Amino acid sequence: MPYNNKFIDIAEQLKPTLIPSTVKPIARGQLAKDSSSLFSWTIVADNAENTASSDFICRNGQVAFDFGRYCVGYLSFELECEGKIDCPLRLQIKFGETIAELGESFDGFEPSLGRAWLQDEVIVIDYPVGEVKLPRRYAFRYVSITSVYNPPSYKFRITNLKCETVTSADETAIPVLSGNIPEQLRDIDRTSLNTLRHCMQTVFEDGPKRDRRLWLGDFRLQALVNYQSFKNYDLCKRCLYLFAGTADERGCIPSCVYEYPQPRSGELFIYDYTALFVPTLLEYAEASKDIDTAVELWPSALRQLEIVLKDVDSNGLFHDKKEWWLFIDWNNGLDKQASEQAIVIYCLKQALKLAELVGDSSRNSWLHTNINLMSKAAMESLFDSARQVFISGESRQISWASQAWMIIAGVVDYSVASEILSRLEGLEGVVQPAGPYLYHYVLEAMFIAGHKEQAIALIKEYWGGMINLGSDTFWEVFDPNDLKLSPYGSYLINSYCHAWSCTPSLFIRQLE
Amino acid sequence: MPYNNKFIDIAEQLKPTLIPSTVKPIARGQLAKDSSSLFSWTIVADNAENTASSDFICRNGQVAFDFGRYCVGYLSFELECEGKIDCPLRLQIKFGETIAELGESFDGFEPSLGRAWLQDEVIVIDYPVGEVKLPRRYAFRYVSITSVYNPPSYKFRITNLKCETVTSADETAIPVLSGNIPEQLRDIDRTSLNTLRHCMQTVFEDGPKRDRRLWLGDFRLQALVNYQSFKNYDLCKRCLYLFAGTADERGCIPSCVYEYPQPRSGELFIYDYTALFVPTLLEYAEASKDIDTAVELWPSALRQLEIVLKDVDSNGLFHDKKEWWLFIDWNNGLDKQASEQAIVIYCLKQALKLAELVGDSSRNSWLHTNINLMSKAAMESLFDSARQVFISGESRQISWASQAWMIIAGVVDYSVASEILSRLEGLEGVVQPAGPYLYHYVLEAMFIAGHKEQAIALIKEYWGGMINLGSDTFWEVFDPNDLKLSPYGSYLINSYCHAWSCTPSLFIRQLE
């Protein structure tokens, strides 16, 4: 791989030292089915005073702990035994972002993603007394510890169960929220930042349970919220350099990057993510005032535009040549042509601002030409003049995605944008957003179009809905009408702390 | 516990440095059912040249390896991947003394002993490239590695699979076997010493898979073979001091001792094992010429006799007060009165020899009195004058155990012993030995009674039977007519390398 080692070195020097803290369980008890609880599982607490310890456990006994809050970190506990220790101890330890992950068996479950994402370990301890530290990092609120047919000769108990959590987010940097913000929005802001905090590790991870890695489109949203809260500019800079440093032989920046064993490309390329490197760099430079980085990475940003424009025809229209992964949203039924068209237009426009910031107007005319051509093509081919909304693909599909991105790209002005959004409500068969990532851009379009009340209502209903279910983090996938919806075959493998869902904070913190 | 720290310190200073060596698999392939193989499982080898590597494995693929010989040690391998490593790797690794342990599922199996004795691990490797070292020690010849629903995005292969074996037995110390010994007995001798070798670790373990600890009765037999082969006197001395150092407040030596986290009593007391400390100490002193140790531990040895004599009545007859575990053999139907009676007589007699060796005749009269009283009681109450064999308990049970121990104890002389053994063949309902531990004492009785041919035939048939099944170690439990016999509910948890089965070597090496 033709990695740019200079860039990677810069990134590696910015690797943060993580901030530790200790979290202990606030309740312990037994797992039980409960149809009134999320995913029908609950922990029936036993009201013990010392919630970081268990009673003595024999044979195939089990205990479940609730840490009371989401944790990302390292679990440890001590073992105490009674009786004759004549055999190693075998334990199954399960970690759940939800209680259901503890309650449901993973046996026979064959997820399309790797089974290894499910957080359960089987450990055998030769001499089961003293401290046990699990070496891997887990993301969870709930833990169950099950004795796997241990002998009757002794029983054991867990004491001093705790999690050493880690994050690169500094809580003390968060500006105080305006006193005018109502309680529900304050809750949503708190949950947003909690979600982001757990995803801020040595990179901005998409989710600390899964995929635990840096995704370009996700990173952009995380960085935007970070600028309003934790203000960890170095972590953003590190991520920008990791992306630019792992570009392929075409100069194309990968859509995801791994840190271990050394920085490496995820070798996945998402058309929309590629283009979004441009606003991501611009926003960093604007927030951090670090113009040097913008100057150094400006050629990389321009290169992404050159690459995505290869799939735009001479009339300025994007065509899916099936060479890219088009993301936009998890909705498989979504036609993505209009959204991609709009994203490229948007990114070309952001490039003009970046050009000004770095003091290089040499490509301005090329940028203007493409903006004009693509905007014209969008109105001619992707706007339904009868229905007065944007359409996508041969099926002339009408979706929230297409309208949102065209509005964000400024293809229509403020007043038309507002009319389009109002008009959508009355139309039948409009393809809805399927997840928080696209919902973010819908919110952004609503604010642009002056639909502030509608946006706030959406925040309260959609993100507030997750809080109402008892979550202190926002989810990767959330459909209030189908809580078990999953792109991966099971809700158990969904990520329940996913940074692309943290953006309500961005809007709430801009309210007066 | 009132441990004798001086003794424990002496033991700890004698802790051996283990001798390492590297063993690699000699074949690899797929597990398959095969009714003609031991326990109906085989590995169908794929004739690969590099048997320490696997082909690429996907999803839920599996590979099985045959190391070609029994190993006790630490497994390591390297992982090589092809594709996009986007998820941790989850593997199940099973270790088998027999292939059946790999083939049979352990799920739902609830052994009366701890499930943790079954040797399978589930490991999750965050970045599945490079070396993987399993931290625990295993005892096995066969290993299977199974991919647990890993993602389709990449496949992996195992390379450089190896076991770093450990032992405190020095092969180079073994005296060359007389050229007159026939091939089958040479095989049995080799297998005996191989069995002992794997059990020689930082103590004489009973079995390296299970229980991995020092048992007094087992140790006596191991030490006897060790004096004829590896001649590791220090390891014997260490074990003697571990026993003597962990005696309880009565001065009673425990029947098993653990090394970790520090030497500690197993808090189990077997009547026959307690008495056998006396000959064990004597035999050590005779073999090693280390009289100082015999002098230092002589009071401990005498104390064991004082303790066991508490269960002998004023007429010199042993009665089971149900305060002890009586072992003798695994056979639950065996009445143990006569055997225990004989063992105490034997140990009292050995104490006289030990008294002479350490130069302390002060208890000789007490020893003689008890020997005479108990021998008389044995002949009066435990010898059936009509049938002319020893009997045991109220049911007047006739067993090999009773005859063997009475012969070893010298309660009858050489010629009567021979007649008794000959007579047994013609009797119905004689309780047979159930396992190799008692078979050893049957062999000893046969040699004492001059039944050398019968003894050699037994060695060839019984121990040779295990070799004929493809084993290069001798088993804890072996019944040629019921190969799956187990005292623990399943043959899978039996130990297939168990030192109390290593004694044919002792007899073979004394043949001319």
Look up tokens 């007094």; give the residue: B216
Residues A393-412, mean pLDDT to the nearest whole number: 98
How many interface pairs between A and B have CB atoms less than 8 angstroms apart? 96
Look at residue B261 and tell me whether its pLDDT is greater than 70: yes
Q: Which two tokens stand for residue A153?
A: 């000769």
Tell me if A87 and B130 make a contact (CB, 8 A cut-off). no
Tell me the pLDDT tens digit for each residue of B121-177: 999 999 999 999 999 999 999 999 999 999 999 999 999 999 999 999 999 999 999
Rounded CA-CA distance B357/A455 in Å is 97
Closest-CA distance of chain A to residue B438, Å: 24
Residues 208-237 of A with CB under 8 A from B: 211, 213
Closest-CA distance of chain A to residue B92, Å: 10
Q: What's the Rg (C-alpha) of chain B?
A: 25
| Cβ–Cβ < 8 Å for B436, B474 | yes
Which SS3 state, helix, strand or coil, does residue B95 take? strand
Residues 51-70 of B with CB under 8 A from A: 60
Nearest to A261 among B112, B116, B127 (CB): B127
Rounded percentage of chain A residues whose pLDDT exceeds 70: 100
Backbone angles phi, psi at A477, to 5 degrees: -125, 130
Nearest chain B residue to A93 by CA: give it: B122
Rounded CA-CA distance A344/A349 in Å is 9
Answer whether B107 touches A (CB < 8 Å).
yes
Answer whether A133 touches B (CB < 8 Å).
no
Tell me if A114 and B149 make a contact (CB, 8 A cut-off). yes
Nearest to B151 among A85, A107, A113 (CB): A113
Nearest to A114 among B88, B112, B258 (CB): B88
- Concatenate the DSSP letters of all residues of A335-402 into one string: --HHHHHHHHHHHHHHHHHHHHHHT--TTHHHHHHHHHHHHHHHHHHSEETTTTEE-BTTTTB-BHHH
Q: Which two tokens stand for residue A414?
A: 């403020």
Tell me if A266 and B86 make a contact (CB, 8 A cut-off). yes
H/E element holding B75? strand B62-83
Sign of the CA dihedral running B109, B478, B475, B160: negative
Which residues in A lie closer than 8 A to residue B266 (C-beta atoms)? Answer: 84, 86
pLDDT of residue B107: 87
Look at residue A110 and tell me whether its pLDDT is greater than 90: no
CA distances to A53, A63, A159, A224 from A56, rounded to whole Å, are 9, 10, 10, 48
Nearest to B266 among A86, A211, A268 (CB): A86
Answer whether A89 touches B (CB < 8 Å).
yes
Look at residue A109 and tell me whether its pLDDT is greater than 90: no
pLDDT of residue A317: 98
Closest-CA distance of chain A to residue B90, Å: 5
Tell me if B130 and A84 make a contact (CB, 8 A cut-off). no
Look up tokens 């986007």; give the residue: B86
- Give the residue from B59, B124, B325 with the most A CB atoms within 10 Å of its CB, the best one to mutate: B124
Rounded CA-CA distance A209/A137 in Å is 9
pLDDT of residue B2: 85
CA nearest neighbour of A501 among A239, A188, A37: A188
Which residues in B lie closer than 8 A to residue A136 (C-beta atoms)? Answer: 124, 126
Which residues in A lie closer than 8 A to residue B110 (C-beta atoms)? Answer: 60, 149
ipTM for the predicted complex: 0.95
Tell me the pLDDT tens digit for each residue of B172-204: 999 999 999 999 999 999 999 999 999 999 999
| Cβ–Cβ < 8 Å for B70, B101 | no
Which SS3 state, helix, strand or coil, does residue A128 take? coil
B478-482, long-range: CB within 8 Å, 24+ apart, which pairs?
B478/B435, B478/B436, B479/B434, B479/B435
Nearest chain A residue to B262 by CA: give it: A127
Which residues in A lie closer than 8 A to residue B130 (C-beta atoms)? Answer: 261
A58: left (phi over 0), alpha (psi -120 to 50) or beta: beta
| Cβ–Cβ < 8 Å for A118, A109 | yes
Rounded CA-CA distance A324/A331 in Å is 17
Residue A22 pairs in a beta bridge with: A164
pLDDT of residue A108: 78
Tell me if B87 and A114 make a contact (CB, 8 A cut-off). yes
Sign of the CA dihedral running A127, A133, A139, A142: positive
Rounded CA-CA distance A490/A497 in Å is 16
Answer whether B267 touches A (CB < 8 Å).
yes
A350: left (phi over 0), alpha (psi -120 to 50) or beta: alpha
How far does Cα B178 stand from its chain's mean position?
26
Nearest chain A residue to B129 by CA: give it: A261
Which residues in A lie closer than 8 A to residue B84 (C-beta atoms)? Answer: 266-268
Q: Which two tokens stand for residue B217?
A: 């009765």
pLDDT of residue B108: 78
CA nearest neighbour of B95 among B510, B496, B512: B496
Tally Cβ neighbours within 10 Å of residue A131. Answer: 10
- Concatenate the DSSP letters of all residues of A45-112 into one string: E---S-TTS---B-TT-EEEEEEEEEEEEEEEEEEEEEE---S-EEEEEEEESSHHHHHS--TT---S
Answer whether B126 touches A (CB < 8 Å).
yes
Rounded CA-CA distance B304/B346 in Å is 13
Which residues in A lie closer than 8 A to residue B126 (C-beta atoms)? Answer: 136, 260
Residues A222-227, mean pLDDT to the nearest whole number: 98
Nearest chain A residue to B88 by CA: give it: A116
Which residues in A lie closer than 8 A to residue B111 (C-beta atoms)? Answer: 149
Closest-CA distance of chain A to residue B343, Å: 27
Backbone angles phi, psi at A184, to 5 degrees: -60, -40
H/E element holding B440? helix B436-448
Which SS3 state, helix, strand or coil, does residue B360 take? coil
Nearest chain B residue to A150 by CA: give it: B114
Q: Which two tokens stand for residue B473?
A: 């170690």
Closest-CA distance of chain A to residue B225, Å: 26
CA nearest neighbour of B471 among B182, B194, B116, B183: B194
Q: Which two tokens stand for residue A265?
A: 């490309």
Rounded CA-CA distance A491/A113 in Å is 12
Backbone angles phi, psi at B419, to 5 degrees: -65, -40
Closest-CA distance of chain B to residue A87, Å: 6
Question: In this structure, what DSSP letter does residue A177 have?
Answer: P
Nearest chain B residue to A268 by CA: give it: B84
Rounded CA-CA distance A33/A40 in Å is 6
Nearest to B124 among A116, A149, A260 (CB): A116
Tell me if B114 and A87 make a contact (CB, 8 A cut-off). yes
Question: Helices in A268-331 by DSSP H: which ranges?
Answer: 271-275, 277-288, 291-309
Which residues in B lie closer than 8 A to residue A111 (C-beta atoms)? Answer: 149
Sign of the CA dihedral running A225, A227, A230, A236: positive
Tell me the pLDDT tens digit for each residue of A182-218: 999 999 999 999 999 999 999 999 999 999 999 999 9
Which SS3 state, helix, strand or coil, does residue B309 take? helix
Tell me if B87 and A116 make a contact (CB, 8 A cut-off). yes
| Cβ–Cβ < 8 Å for B39, B26 | no
Nearest to A88 among B87, B114, B126 (CB): B114
Tell me the pLDDT tens digit for each residue of A81-91: 999 999 999 99
Question: Helices in A104-215 by DSSP H: which ranges?
Answer: 183-199
Tell me the pLDDT tens digit for each residue of A242-298: 999 999 999 999 999 999 989 999 999 999 999 999 999 999 999 999 999 999 999
Tell me the pLDDT tens digit for each residue of A278-290: 999 999 999 999 9
Tell me if B113 and A261 make a contact (CB, 8 A cut-off). no
- Give the residue from B149, B213, B488, B490 with the most A CB atoms within 10 Å of its CB, the best one to mutate: B149
Nearest to B261 among A109, A129, A260 (CB): A129
Rounded CA-CA distance A112/A114 in Å is 6
pLDDT of residue A99: 98
Tell me if A89 and B127 make a contact (CB, 8 A cut-off). no
Nearest chain A residue to B128 by CA: give it: A261
Q: Which residues of B400-415 are buried (b: 16+ CB within 10 A; e: fewer)?
A: bbbbbbbbbbbbbeee
Look at residue A1 and tell me whether its pLDDT is greater than 90: no
| Cβ–Cβ < 8 Å for B146, B62 | yes
Tell me the pLDDT tens digit for each residue of A6-49: 999 999 999 999 999 999 999 999 999 999 999 999 999 998 99
∠ CA A32-A34-A39, nearest 5°, is 100
Answer whether A1 touches B (CB < 8 Å).
no
Taking each helix axis from N to C end, the angle separating A233-245 and A5-13, rounded to the nearest 10 degrees, works out to 160
Mean pLDDT of chain B: 97
Whether the full predicted model's pTM is greater than 0.90, yes or no, is yes
Closest-CA distance of chain A to residue B70, Å: 21
Look up tokens 């498989």; give the residue: A332
End-to-end CA distance of chain B: 49
How far does Cα A470 stand from its chain's mean position?
19
Rounded CA-CA distance B123/A84 in Å is 28
Residue B145 pairs in a beta bridge with: B63, B93
Answer whether B114 touches A (CB < 8 Å).
yes
Q: Which two tokens stand for residue A429?
A: 């068969």
Closest-CA distance of chain A to residue B393, Å: 30
Rounded CA-CA distance A70/B413 in Å is 79
pLDDT of residue B1: 59
